[in-house]
Amino acid sequence: MTNTSDIRLALSCRVRSTPFSDRVEEAGVSHYSVYNGMVLPAAFGDMEAECEHLKNHVQVWDVSCERQVEIKGPDAAKLVQLMTPRDISKGAINQCLYIPIVDENGCMVNDPVAIKLAEEHYWISIADSDVILYAKGIAAGRGLKVEISEPDVNPLAIQGPKAGELMERVFGETVNAIRFFRGDWLEFQGKRLFVARSGYSKQGGFEVYCDSVSAVPLWDALFTAGADLNVKAGGPNTIERIESGLLSCGNDMELDDTPFEAGLGQFCHLDGDFEFIGKEALLAKREPFRQLRGLKIEGRLPGCRRPWPVQGVGKVTSAVYSPTYGCTVAIAMIDKSHWTPGTKVTVDTPEGPRTAEVCPLPFPPASA
């Protein structure tokens, strides 16, 4: 019998490599995930040590798999709005908007960041599903005046408390002027790259939207400039992201779940005077009967590969052992009857039933 942790990833053109993959592999990546048909570094050997490093230093993450859906043309804003219950009309140029994208049932297609580059020009920086096909389908069905494509844009994330210092060394002091979830075009070796203060951790940092020609030079510049900052290659860290309550589309929510169930109600402007697909369905689902919560599960458990039943009241969708909390931390969809923090539940894990406690997301500080 195979030890599942030893199953290797078969690489091909279909499971795309990124412009950074050579450097990622030279840095010793041990595990890849596959995200939007592209490799995503998941671990470099010791996820707990990497989590600790992320919280104290700075890491460079190849998140090229956050593919961009480029939408240009007179109907660009109309198309973006049709896909999301969030009112995008107030978005400023170079602002990053976290937008739930929903289907005709008001359920989660994706939870990307939409970047408004110009009035008629958006990048949608996607989570793991083919938003480009949804956009193309709607545009073709409606006859919208837009061009939809996947540009040569490969995000590189610089994350951790020393990210600002490292970015300043490479891009200059101007990075400091960029506010959270805003971006600007900054020069790197004669080219202008879009740089946003964003990223899939709560440790602070930036994402650089990089063309493939600039990729290796940018990687090398960051590692040269950051040697004394203890910069390391990394990737979204499952421990840090669950502790921080960062959701993962495809793990924690999918086409069965509404944004309200996913806890994204604040991004749904159902009373707004604008049209989006699934509006009628979502209006009927404003009051969820289940919702994502944190769980602290006793003991050290393996990662969650298939949803674990929460006896009678829900399911665990992500889980990992947290040294900080001294237990397994998880994200779970929990029925209303049991979603109050502090409630005790029982989880059927691969290692048997385990007692767990419902928590808010993000998890309260471990000292609390």
The nearer residue to a second copy, 214 or 248, going by C-beta atoms, is 248
User: Residue 165 carries which side chain, given as an amino acid letter?
Assistant: E
Q: H or E stretch including 21?
A: helix 21-26
Q: Which of these ranges, 7-15, 84-92, 206-214, 224-232, lies near a second copy under the rule CB under 8 A?
A: 7-15
Minimum CB separation from a second copy for residue 10, in Å? 4
- Packing angle between helix 212-225 and helix 163-171, nearest 10 degrees? 120
**192 beta partners:** 187
Structure tokens at 202: 């709560």
Structure tokens at 58: 């700075």
Minimum CB separation from a second copy for residue 134, in Å? 4
Q: Which of these ranges, 3-11, 194-202, 225-233, 260-268, lies near a second copy under the rule CB under 8 A?
A: 3-11
Minimum CB separation from a second copy for residue 309, in Å? 13
CB distance 185 to 192 below 8 Å = yes
Kindly tell me the sign of the dihedral angle through the C-alpha atoms of 248, 251, 254, 256.
Answer: negative
Minimum CB separation from a second copy for residue 247, in Å? 11
Does the protein bind a second copy through residue 284 (CB under 8 A)?
no
Q: Which of these ranges, 153-161, 208-216, 299-307, 355-363, lies near a second copy under the rule CB under 8 A?
A: 299-307
Minimum CB separation from a second copy for residue 145, in Å? 12
Does the protein bind a second copy through residue 139 (CB under 8 A)?
yes
Binder of a second copy out of 2, 177, 266, 344 (CB under 8 A): 2
For 226, residues 6+ apart whose C-beta sits below 8 A from its C-beta are: 58, 60, 162, 166, 169
How many residues of this chain interact with a second copy, rule: CB under 8 A?
61
Q: Exposed, middle or buried by CB within 10 Å (0-12, 13-18, 19+), for 296? A: middle
Kindly write out the interface string for residues 238-257 of this chain, putting x where it contacts a second copy by CB under 8 A and - elsewhere: ----------xxxx---x--
- Quick one: which of 262, 255, 339, 264 has its CA closest to 295? 339
User: Residue 281 carries which side chain, given as an amino acid letter?
Assistant: A
Binder of a second copy out of 50, 111, 128, 257 (CB under 8 A): 128
The nearer residue to a second copy, 175 or 264, going by C-beta atoms, is 264
Q: How far, in Å, are 58, 63, 199 from residue 157 at the CA level?
A: 10, 7, 6
Does the protein bind a second copy through residue 43 (CB under 8 A)?
yes
Does the protein bind a second copy through residue 48 (CB under 8 A)?
no
User: Residue 93 carries which side chain, given as an amino acid letter?
Assistant: I
**Which residues of this chain interact with a second copy, rule CB under 8 A?**
1-2, 4-15, 17, 25-26, 28-35, 37, 42-43, 103-104, 109, 128-142, 150, 248-251, 255, 277-278, 303-307, 317-318
